[in-house]
């Protein structure tokens, strides 16, 4: 379980690093795609909100799964063992979606109409 928390922490740090890189390289007027559900990006946010929202989502997911593993949040099925496997997978998916969103924003595919 501790291994998944370490891997999860490294993935969250990678998300922060991607956002820092985006802050340095993305134009100030860019719109960053945000992904609120299954499928494709379905909304666009300002640069500042987009840079903060992706790592914040990672921190929330990390906190929920860390709480499950610590026993603070009790799953209905009585076992929190699967949380250790799921945490790195979920965070990796968020990281890949974040990188894709920043690439889309860098490529000019962001919706600029408010």
**What pLDDT was estimated at residue 107?**
82
**What pLDDT was estimated at residue 78?**
56
Number of Cβ within 10 Å of residue 67's Cβ equals 14
Would you call 87 helix, strand, or coil by DSSP?
Answer: helix
Instruction: Give the integer Cα–Cα distance in Å for 12 and 46.
Output: 21
Q: What average pLDDT values come out for the chain (114 residues) when binned by 10 residues?
A: 88 96 92 77 88 95 86 60 80 93 76 45
Nearest to 15 by CA among 71, 99, 90, 89: 99
**What pLDDT was estimated at residue 73?**
62
Instruction: Give the integer Cα–Cα distance in Å for 108 and 21.
Output: 17
Q: Can you spell out the DSSP letters for 45-65?
A: EEHHHHHHHHHHHHHHHHHHH
Tokens of 5: 């928390």
**What pLDDT was estimated at residue 113?**
45
**What pLDDT was estimated at residue 67?**
83
């Amino acid at each position: 379980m501790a291994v998944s928390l370490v891997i999860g922490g490294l993935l969250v740090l990678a998300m922060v690093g991607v956002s820092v890189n985006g802050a340095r390289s993305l134009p100030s007027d860019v719109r960053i795609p945000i992904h609120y559900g299954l499928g494709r990006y379905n909304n666009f946010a300002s640069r500042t909100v987009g840079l903060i929202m992706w790592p914040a989502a990672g921190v929330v997911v990390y906190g929920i799964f860390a709480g499950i593993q610590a026993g603070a949040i009790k799953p209905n099925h009585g076992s929190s063992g699967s949380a250790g496997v799921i945490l790195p997978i979920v965070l990796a998916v968020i990281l890949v979606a974040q990188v894709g969103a920043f690439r889309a924003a860098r490529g000019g595919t962001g919706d600029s109409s408010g």
